[in-house]
Amino acid sequence: MIPANLTHYIETEIIPRYEKFDKAHNLSHVQAVIEESLSLAKQYDVNESMAYTIAAYHDTGLCHDRATHHLISGEILKQDVTLRQWFNEIEIETMKEAVEDHRASTDHEPRSIYGKIVAEADRVIDPTITLRRTVQYGLKQQPEADKEWHYQRFHQHLMDKYAPGGYLKLWLPDSKNTERLKELQTIILNEELLKKTFNKLFSEEKNN
């Protein structure tokens, strides 16, 4: 059972920070990661309060930059003295490491089950959402670039990350992501379908 005062603190002081982030890392994203983390926490019989807190803090470092956000997020969690009301120093360190390990491009396996849970929850691989977020990110980074540039970036990113042999690693075979990744790969590997999907999403996002 997660203490009510912990939930209140995180909902009022931590989650609102996501309002300032891009569409791919906004309030709905952190809420989805929290929800999936708690679902996985029940499956693996771990401390729900820790899984909840890790999920809430996992992208807070985006206030600094994207490249090192996972490390900054871990520091934000560790330096938050308020969390000492609910967690001891060993738990704080475990949560910090889990936040640091959540990033999809990390070159090592998460150091604990908590890192695997938040990494898996952060994936939330839904073909439609993943493809839309990829378009949104490109438009945020290079709004002035032409459509062909955006398609090439979109295609390259999907191939690098999600295609067979890509850098995305799934750490929990029982998660929903295993089947969802196969669905996404079916779209990515069908060039005609991928281009058609991109055109639709690009048009919607440009006119949004």
Domain ranges of the chain: 2-120, 125-205
CATH 1.10.3720.10 fits 2-120, yes or no: no
Angstrom distance (rounded) from CA 160 to CA 162? 6
Residue 106 has pLDDT above 80, yes or no: no
Angstrom distance (rounded) from CA 27 to CA 13? 13
Confidence of residue 105 (pLDDT cuts 50, 70, 90): low
Confidence of residue 3 (pLDDT cuts 50, 70, 90): very high
* Structure confidence by residue, pLDDT tens digits, 116-171: 999 999 987 889 989 998 999 999 899 999 999 999 999 999 999 999 999 888 88
Cβ atoms of 122 and 175 closer than 8 Å: no
Angstrom distance (rounded) from CA 36 to CA 126? 13
Cβ atoms of 56 and 10 closer than 8 Å: yes
Cβ atoms of 76 and 83 closer than 8 Å: no
The pTM (predicted TM-score) of the whole model is: 0.78
